[in-house]
Amino acid sequence: MRNRFYLMLPALLLGVSPFIIQAQDPTGGGSLVRDITGGAALIFRSPQNPTVHEIQAGGQGTASGGKVKGKKPKQPTRDEPEKILARANAARSAPKPRYEEAEQQYRLAAQIAPTDARAYAGLGNVYVDQQRFTEAAEAYQKALKLKPDYKGALLPLAFSLARLNKFPEAITTYQDALKQEPQNPEIYNNLSFAYNHQERYQEAVDASKEAIRLLGATGEAYTQGFQERNEILSYAYKNLGNAYNGLKRYDEAAEILKKSAEIEPTNASAHFNLGLSLYNAGRYSEAIEAYKQVIKLRPTLAQAHYNLGLTYAAVNDKKGAMEEYEALKSMNPGLAQQLYGAIKK
């Protein structure tokens, strides 16, 4: 698969999302670490380059605007912005992207044709590729101000806003995108993710269910086909499970997250959240198995060792808890100390 763009910063995979209800250790010893997904349940496809219109044969002109001694500078022809956009697109799409060149060319296109939304959308693409989300959002917003129905700017703008934790704005933008693509399950999935972060859990449930319904009905993720149906289906179940967790419907959350893990058995975050839901439901032996699966997939994931240790403590298995404490000491001394304190209480 190509053009996958979930989390480009590995460290973010370990980020703690704020919307999952934190599981309390019944022994009073501590609280489980929450969802490790970061943005893993947020689907994003790398945006396509702006369309370049057909260039007229024999077109003349210059884009430099520089002065030529003894002559007036040539004015750009109507073809010149197209040539510049083509160069910018080529730089961005090169096997080894030349982002600095692409940014310069898109800026030049915007200078020559300041009312052309394509140049700003192209700039946004360059920025989002590099995770420069603040600049990306500003560029896409300029494009949409010039052309409010610019389809190619809506989804990457919404994604950029979500990555900036500007979830109310992201929700509004995804809702605008739905007006253009009402059958796109990607948008419903991402809306669910954003609703969860706003603790709008019932709306998250409804959006996830719609994504799942569409995926089941069409058999395709979306027409572009950049990702497999099962990939997005797994994420939709994951967001749905997270929403049920938020509603404290832990048994339902666990059953939904089992589906996510079955669809993508190597998705460590699905197993991690499954463990949390099972713990919240008081199903400790099942939670232990879920966290063991996480550790099998991600042996050095400190949060999984910590949660497994606390779950062992919840069933008074001090030996198992101490084994996780020993494993944690070299990974994350701070978490190890917290676990040790919980075990001794």
What CATH code is carried by the domain that includes residue 95?
1.25.40.10
The whole-angstrom separation of Cα 293 and Cα 279 is 15
State the CB neighbour count (10 A cutoff) for residue 322: 16
In a domain, 295, yes or no: no
In a domain, 122, yes or no: yes
- pLDDT average, residue stretch 105-116: 95
The whole-angstrom separation of Cα 102 and Cα 151 is 21
The whole-angstrom separation of Cα 206 and Cα 200 is 10
pLDDT at 258 exceeding the cut of 80:
yes
Residue entry with tokens 């002065």: 67
- pLDDT average, residue stretch 188-216: 93
- The pLDDT score that the predictor gives to residue 11 is 22
238-248 tens-digit pLDDT: 999 999 999 99
Q: What letters, b where the CB count within 10 A reaches 16 and e where it falls short, cover 228-247?
A: ebebbbbbbbbbbbbbbbbe
Q: In the chain, pLDDT over 70 holds for what percent of residues?
A: 78
The whole-angstrom separation of Cα 21 and Cα 161 is 24
Q: In the chain, pLDDT over 90 holds for what percent of residues?
A: 64
| CA-closest candidate to residue 38, choices 56, 26, 20, 60 | 20
Structure tokens at 342: 């919980």
In a domain, 118, yes or no: yes
Q: What mean pLDDT value characterizes the chain?
A: 82
In a domain, 11, yes or no: no
List Cβ neighbours of 322 (8 Å cut-off, separation of 6 or more). Answer: 343
Q: How many domains does the chain have?
A: 1
Residue 71: pLDDT band with limits 50, 70, 90: low
In a domain, 172, yes or no: yes
- The pLDDT score that the predictor gives to residue 110 is 95
Helix axes 268-280, 284-297, angle to 10 degrees: 160
- pLDDT average, residue stretch 66-70: 46
76 burial level (CB within 10 Å; 0-12, 13-18, 19+)? buried
Residue 55: pLDDT band with limits 50, 70, 90: low
- The pLDDT score that the predictor gives to residue 208 is 95
10-28 tens-digit pLDDT: 222 223 332 233 343 333 3
Lowest average pLDDT, out of 195-204, 210-219, 333-342, goes to: 210-219
- pLDDT average, residue stretch 25-45: 56
In a domain, 159, yes or no: yes
Amino acid at 81: P
Task: Please give the model's pTM, rounded to 2 decimal places.
Answer: 0.79
In a domain, 137, yes or no: yes
- pLDDT average, residue stretch 155-181: 96
In a domain, 328, yes or no: no
Domain assignment of residue 163, given as a range: 44-53+76-180
